[in-house]
Every structure is written in structure tokens, then in C-alpha cells.
Structure 1
């Protein structure tokens, strides 16, 4: 199918229609997952669980299957989720995060009612991944974790995991904004590397630190 003969307006109209259709189909897929799991049809077909059926039977990737299964279970508890998916105000990644928090709360003996879950979902509508996790951390009283981890990698790069305070992260975000003309992609590795290089130049002057293999 060639799209090059469509006008710009026709292309926009077509993709907008396709996105609306995709959202509707997504919510219908979740409803089917719930019904199949309720009837235990996956067991009749020889699969030991719904996750196995989604990956091996329907060909979903591990991540896609997990997101749909978790979202379907949340939809089962909060039916209003369906219209939010269709409207595009909530996505599968957000629903997965909420369901994960609900499961962890239940394991700790904390009961979250459907009403409370609905209110939480309202708070994360139209939010990105970072803002969603920030809201859920507050709503579910997830304790702060502080650690630093350095992991060497085979290409001589180093993976850095670090916890920043709210103020520290705000300063880093400001630096990223100020350097957006240099690093339009805003990769944190570029920002941190640039800040370190500028600081070192200022402190060391002409004598630069040299890496020796």
C-alpha cells in the first residue's frame, strides 16, 4: 500500500482515524483477555497461564504480553478504564504501573478500593512516564531509595545508577534546559559529561585529565 498519493490533509485524517481505531481495539483486546482468563480457556488449550498464552499462543512479546495482562486485570477492577484508553488519556504502561502498585499493596495487607483506584487513575491521566511514577510514589507511599551503582560494560562505558534529591534533580534539569541548543536530544549522559568537562577545564585550566588504558 502506497501512501505517497495522499494529500497532507488526507494523511493526517487517516492516521487520526487509525489511532482512534487502535485505542478501541486495545480496550477490546483487554476485555477478551479477561473473559478468556475467567473461563480458563487458556488451560483448555494447553497453556499453563494467560501470560504463556499471550506470548506463545498469540505471539506478543514478553513486555507487550505483561502490559496487556496487567492492564486487563486493572480494567476488571475499574471498568471506567476502557473509556480512558479509547480517549487516549491513559495508556497501557500507566495501567501496568498502577496494577503493579495495587498488587504490592495487597501483598502488604493494604486494601485499595475501586473508588480509590479510580481517583488515582484520574490523577495520572495525560501524564508522561516520569510524572506517572512520581504520582504513584506519593499515592502508594513508596519509600525513597538511595543508592549509587556503577556497572562496567564491555565497550569500556560505565552504567551509572544514582539517586538525586528533588533539588539536585531540579538543578540538573535546569542545566539540560540551558544546554538544549548543544544537546537537542537531552540525553543525560551528554549533559552530565558536558558539565563535568566544563568543571574540569575551569578547575584544571590547561592541565587536562588524560585517560590511560
Structure 2
């Protein structure tokens, strides 16, 4: 009783805010308000057959993947862009964890957890990791692990080169930028395993493709990919 009263008092002084719209959360809401939960641009790609999955088609002829998943559609100047900005540049790693938990629970409810043995985030270069303080893809992977009930391997992949930003590059340039920069730390951890590789945003898919190729080369049985949001090409 006293703890509840104290929490209510603290909430009046330091209200919890929705991660998407920054409006105060009410009792029973966590991370996202009810309005944002209802209005976020969900993809529902996990409900589509592979031949109808638009991000799955981006990998045709490039990387054999089992599932191609994205929780949200990236909409410029909308809630999703704000969420990703908070995650990557404002120190709000809870954004990635919360979205991962929500999406993981949704994927678990559809039975997809049985298709994955391990969740692996796209790594940051140590210099960038030290500057940011955390890996936003690892935050998403941690949340997915909680929701899917599938273990996460946060240090499976290593980025050997501190690549330049991908933002203004076309697909060929993006692939050239990341094609040889990832390697598996310990192949024994991935041999024969079905791995879900995750990142914050999927655009051309070059980064996830390079990570998936490294995992398959190290002996992974199969690779799937997932992102918080996918952008139109």
C-alpha cells in the first residue's frame, strides 16, 4: 500500500512518458500509450507467406533466409522516426528493449519461437559502442529474447572495421561498405543453429545480409532477419 502511494506521488512529480509521443502514461500503460500502440504502422509481415513478404524479396538471390521480419514501417517525421531517434541518439535504450518485448510476444503467439535457436544483434564497432554507451540492436535483441523466450547471443558477431554511415549510400555502396567487416567470434556457438539476426532499421538490407552471410559461413544451419522498422527503398 505504502509503495503504491509512493509510486503515485513520484509519478506526479516525474511522470512516466510515452516513448513515442512524450505524453504522460496513465496507470496500466508501459513504455507506449494506448493511442500510440493503436496507431503505430505495424507491418504484420510475419503473417504473410514468403512470396508476399516485401522485405523478404529484397534478399532473393543474395542470402537464403527463413523469415524476414519487421515490426514497424519507417515513416519519416512520424512516431517511428521519433522512437528510433530516441533509441540511437538520445540514450533511450529502453525504446529498443520495449519494442523487442512487444514484438517478441507477438511472434511467440504465432508460434515463430520454435523456428529460432538464437537471437544475434548486428554489432557496433568498439569505438562507436564506447561513444554511444550501448548497442541499439542489442537492446532490441534483449527485448525479443524476453518476448520470444529464445536466448540472445550479444557477442556472437564482431565488427572489425569502423565503417562510415550508410545513410546516404545506395545499395551497391552499402554492400561494399559492410561486405567484409563482420566475423563470428566463436563458430562453435553457431554451428547447426537457426539464428535470427536483428537490427534497428532495415533499408536495403546490406548490413543484415553481410551478417547473415558471416553466420552461414561459420556453420549456422539457417538465418532469419528482423528489424524494428523497415524503410521503403
Give the TM-score normalised by structure 1. 0.27
Higher relative contact order (CA 8 A, sep 6+): 2
* TM-score (norm: length of structure 2): 0.25
Structure 1 or 2: more strand by fraction:
2
